Amino acid sequence: MTTPTAISDGLLDEAALAALANQLFAALPGNAPGFGAVHGLSASPPAAPSPRASAPATPASAEAAARSDAPAAPTAGATAPPSPVTSATPAPPSEVPAPGRAAASSASAALAVPGPYAAALPRVSSPIERTPAVPVTTPGHPYYFLAESSALASQPAALAPAAPMEARPFGMPGEAPLREPLASLAPPSLSAAGEPAASPRSSHFYFLDATRERAPGAARGFAPDAHPAFDVQAVRRDFPILSERVHGQPLIWFDNAATTQKPQAVIDRLAYFYTHENSNIHRAAHELAARATDAYESARSKVARFLGASSSDEIIFVRGATEGINLVAQSWGRANIGAGDEIVVSQLEHHANIVPWLQLVKEKGAKLRVIPVDDSGQILMQEYRGLLNDRTRLVAVSQVSNALGTITPVAEIAELAHRAGARVLIDGAQAVSHLRVNVQALAADFYVFSGHKVFAPTGIGVVFGNADVLESMPPWQGGGNMIEDVTFERAIYQRPPARFEAGTGNIADAVGLGAAIDYIERIGLESIGSYEHDLLVYATEGLRTVPGLHLIGTAADKASVQSFVLDGYRPEEVGSALNREGIAVRAGHHCAQPIVRRFGQEATVRPSLAFYNTCAEVDVMIRALHRLASQNGRRRS
């Protein structure tokens, strides 16, 4: 152990303190050499982390919290929620020290904001490394939460206009042929005078379309944060669970359509909430209520920005996409669907976007109509047009199919629905982690998603509802938090969104969702979409080399999901075999029986990718499948 340097007043200097702390943690039993550096204690100014150091809540804010049952969003006294900056996670612009500030810091060089990501993917041509991933030190600000602005300060800032999408090399094998068509893609042809474009998606490079969809948000100053070049290895270090081993092998998480893994930033944010902010919200004249309310309402604002909503009042927190669709069915649906009315869904839907409508049409004597898909798994638009009529009240479709990965033309679907006088619900559960969404550009009346599929905790999800539509809807559950006034004769309800959030919600996990959104916006959904597209192409090519493997769902527009069956094996057998090699895939009907049956199956194997997956991981899976295929060949002979 080196001896720290004392400075003149007898105290240790910052770097020495950091060095001591790191040595201490590194020496703790169970820590691998090099592991255990204190979060951000590399060599940076030791600001005191005590919440007591926070300025007290302004009386006004605490009073506001006490006065009303309404979500008055009191402002906590200098509450400083964390947004940890790890070695792999560049800070958003608001957190990157301005040049002057950085220069003023004695430790700025060692601090924190890492250099841009290396623009390269794993060496996919080299032998696959199945060595354990070593936990990586994550330098950052000491007491990272002190480096953050308050929750409310994270309101949309005026940000630079979005950079145009470009074909960026990730070093994928076989990527060269992708560059040419990408470069030659025409700019968007938006529909004129209410006419839906004949072909709204000009390519299967969906992330380019996503870039277009962001334009309206950008015009309101909601452009995403600038972000550095994408480096998958750096991203992976943000997800501690990716260092797990399963059956002695490094975990390969290809079950992202079921749920995604959580970055350290989200894990830390939850811990911070319970350590410094935990309280019920919207009530009580005390500091923690103010902090928790700030954090919760700040998360709502982040979701609004993330979806391109025009106001955070259009964002309702629910448990997940399933609860969100049930909310719409029971509130809007019960009030607006009558006997003989029609609800249109697609054949691709998850059960969550079928069953609530089945229940509603049964109750009301209405009818459920289904848009079929072609043999690639894409919606048949001509058939859809034929289903619309003056009885159509609602069109409810997924933006991305969880079973096949098909990206559906939701903007065109919504436009046609509106022309028929119907409302539109978009199930974005599989979309939000892969492509940028703008609910205004999509003209969605409702948009739902689940936090856990976008790197946030389970048990939290979102319903976006167009303000006018929400205003007209009755509550679907009754209780505290959603009322203005109650007597034994009547209840007067809050306005949206509080009207739809009866009782104590999932406060901490909503805050975690806000942190997840911060995280992916730092990386940039355009980078994510672009990387995942190349990875999907790579994986698809690999799967095609496996004898006896049949891909289910081959639409030109796809996001991160593959489905297949393998001759001679039940899907569960393939899933189990892959599991023995540390590879997690889903095998089953994926809660989407109608679409799986459309392809003559009861179940498929479904590897689903995220931006932390690599070509090397894909290679491991393809090899395992080749082994299975060859064993099956031997069994048959």
Residues 354, 594: Cα–Cα separation, whole Å: 10
> How many other CB atoms are found less than 10 A from the CB of residue 311?
12
Residue tagged active-site, from 591, 592, 609, 622: 591
- Nearer CB in complex with ligand PLP: 462/628: 462
CB 345, CB 371: distance < 8 Å: yes
* Selected range binding ligand PLP among 117-125, 349-357, 545-553, 554-562, rule: CB under 6 A: 349-357
Contact with ligand PLP (CB under 6 A): which of 141, 237, 262, 350? 350
Does the footprint of ligand PLP cover residue 481 (CB under 6 A)?
Answer: no
Nearest distance in Å: CB 44, ligand PLP? 39
Q: Does 402 bind ligand PLP (CB under 6 A)?
A: yes
The residue range among 54-62, 76-84, 345-353, 527-535 that interacts with ligand PLP, by the rule CB under 6 A, is: 345-353
Q: How far apart are CA 555 and CA 557, in angstroms?
A: 5
**The one segment of 5-13, 320-328, 414-422, 468-476 that binds ligand PLP by CB under 6 A:** 320-328
Q: Are 378 and 556 in contact (CB under 8 A)?
A: yes
Q: How far is residue 266's CA from residue 509's CA, in Å, rounded to a whole number?
A: 9
Stretch that binds ligand PLP, among 206-214, 318-326, 411-419, 613-621 (CB under 6 A): 318-326
Among 178, 235, 352, 583, binds ligand PLP (CB under 6 A): 352
Q: Which is nearer to ligand PLP, 84 or 553 (CB)?
A: 553
Least CB distance to ligand PLP at residue 244 (A): 22
- Asked if 430 is part of the footprint of ligand PLP (rule: CB under 6 A), the reply reads yes
**Number of residues lying near ligand PLP (CB under 6 A):** 13
- When the beta carbons of 137 and 450 are compared against ligand PLP, the nearer one is 450
Question: Per CB under 6 A, does 427 bind ligand PLP?
Answer: yes
Integer angstrom CA distances of residue 29 from 25, 137, 247, 272, 548: 9, 17, 24, 25, 49
Cα–Cα distance, 550 to 603 (Å, whole number): 13
Alpha-carbon span 210 to 159, nearest angstrom:
18
Query: Do the Cβ atoms of 99 and 212 come closer than 8 Å?
Result: no
Task: Name the one range near ligand PLP by CB under 6 A: 44-52, 156-164, 314-322, 537-545.
Answer: 314-322
Min dist CB 604 to ligand PLP, Å, is 14
- Smallest CA-to-CA distance from 314 within 511, 220, 447, 483 is with 447
DSSP for 135-171 reads P------TTGGGGSPPGGGGSPP--PPPPPP------
Per-residue binding string, ligand PLP, 591-610, x by CB under 6 A, is x-------------------
Residue by residue, DSSP assigns 70-96 as S---PPPSS--------TTSPPPGGGS
Report how far Cα 4 is from the mean position of its chain's Cα atoms.
44
Q: Is 322 in the site for ligand PLP (CB under 6 A)?
A: yes
Q: What is the DSSP letter of 329?
A: I
Which of 398, 562, 608, 613 touches ligand PLP by CB under 6 A?
398
Contact call for residue 377 and ligand PLP (CB under 6 A): no
Residue 542 makes contact with ligand PLP by CB under 6 A: no
Q: Smallest gap, in angstroms, from Cβ of residue 456 to ligand PLP?
A: 11
* Cβ burial, residue 600 (10 Å; 0-12/13-18/19+): exposed
Q: Which amino acid would we find at residue 470?
A: L
What minimum distance in Å lies between the beta carbon of 327 and ligand PLP?
11
Interface with ligand PLP, residue 255, by CB under 6 A: no
Q: Report in angstroms how near the CB of residue 607 gets to ligand PLP at its nearest.
A: 15
Q: Does 279 bind ligand PLP (CB under 6 A)?
A: no
Burial classification of residue 487, based on how many CB atoms lie within 10 Å of its CB (0-12 exposed, 13-18 middle, 19 or more buried): exposed
The residue (of 237 and 434) whose beta carbon lies closer to ligand PLP is 434
- Alpha-carbon distances of 27 from 21, 24, 37, 38, rounded to whole Å: 10, 5, 10, 12
In this structure, what token pair is assigned to residue 99?
A: 């040049």
Complex with ligand PLP: residue 290 or 407, whichever CB lies closer: 407
DSSP per position, 454-521: GTS-TT-EEEEE-HHHHHTPPPSS-STTSEEEE-SS-EEEPPTTGGG--S---HHHHHHHHHHHHHHH
Report the 3 state secondary structure along 427-466. ECCCCCCCCCCCHHHHCCCEEEEEHHHHCCCCCCEEEEEC
Nearest approach, Cβ of residue 512 and ligand PLP (Å): 15
Closest Cα to residue 556, out of 432, 376, 372?
376
Instruction: Name every residue whose Cβ is closer than 8 Å to that of residue 453 and which is 6 or more positions away in sequence.
Output: 256, 257, 259, 260, 321, 429, 430, 432, 433
426 binds ligand PLP (CB under 6 A): no
615 is a catalytic site residue: no
Distance CA 629, CA 21 (A): 52
320 binds ligand PLP per the rule CB under 6 A = yes
Smallest distance, Å, CB 453 to ligand PLP?
6
Tokens of 2: 């080196």
Nearer to ligand PLP, 82 or 461 (CB): 461
Per rule CB under 6 A, is residue 429 in the interface with ligand PLP? yes
With CB under 6 A as the contact rule, which of the stretches 149-157, 206-214, 315-323, 617-625 interacts with ligand PLP?
A: 315-323
Q: Find the helix packing angle between 507-523 and 287-307, rounded to 10°.
A: 40
Binding of ligand PLP at residue 154 (CB under 6 A)? no
- Whole-number minimum distance, CB 181 to ligand PLP, in Å? 28
Site for ligand PLP, residues 443 to 462, rule: CB under 6 A: 450
Nearer to ligand PLP, 19 or 595 (CB): 595
Pick from 17, 235, 321, 435: which binds ligand PLP (CB under 6 A)? 321
CB nearer ligand PLP, residue 61 or residue 506 = 506
- Looking at 145-153, 385-393, 424-432, 550-558, which segment touches ligand PLP (CB under 6 A)? 424-432
Residues binding ligand PLP (CB under 6 A): 320-322, 350, 352-353, 398, 402, 427, 429-430, 450, 591
The catalytic residues are 591
